[in-house]
Amino acid sequence: LQFLIFFFQINLRLILVSGKTKEFLFSPNDSAADIAKHVYDNWPMDWEEEQVSSPNILRLIYQGRFLHGNVTLGALKLPFGKTTVMHLVARETLPEPNSQGQRNREKTGESNCCVIL
């Protein structure tokens, strides 16, 4: 039974900006907010210098994107029995979806309109 419980969990290796890492086991039903709270409540001893004041400012980054609080590991289709790497950062707010793309278009002068002749 212990093996089955382990088998249906997702192993996350969380990396801080400092490069320090720690692995945690989570359920596919756990959300990004659940993970942030768990990590905050079980903050590793060797991460003491990076301790934050609240779990609400911990953000997960997966494949270059910030995960919003309600997204679950199951929704990301993460594999069981393998280690998935995510970055953990302290940040007050999340960027708006597609805001980076909008800023890039403004910088390059690219526009989404067309000319019909």
Contact of 18 with 32, CB cutoff 8 Å: no
Segment 59-63 long-range contacts (CB within 8 Å, at least 24 positions apart): 59/32, 59/88, 59/89, 59/90, 59/91, 59/94, 60/14, 60/32, 60/35, 60/36, 60/86, 60/87, 60/88, 61/86, 61/87, 61/88, 61/89, 62/86, 62/87
Q: Domain for residue 110, yes or no?
A: no
Q: How many domains does the chain have?
A: 1
**pLDDT at residue 96 greater than cutoff 80:** no
The better pLDDT of the pair 41, 111 is held by 41
Give me the chain's average pLDDT, please.
83
pTM: 0.75
Q: Domain for residue 113, yes or no?
A: no
Tell me the residue range of the domain where 10 lies.
1-90
CATH number for the domain spanning 54: value is 3.10.20.90
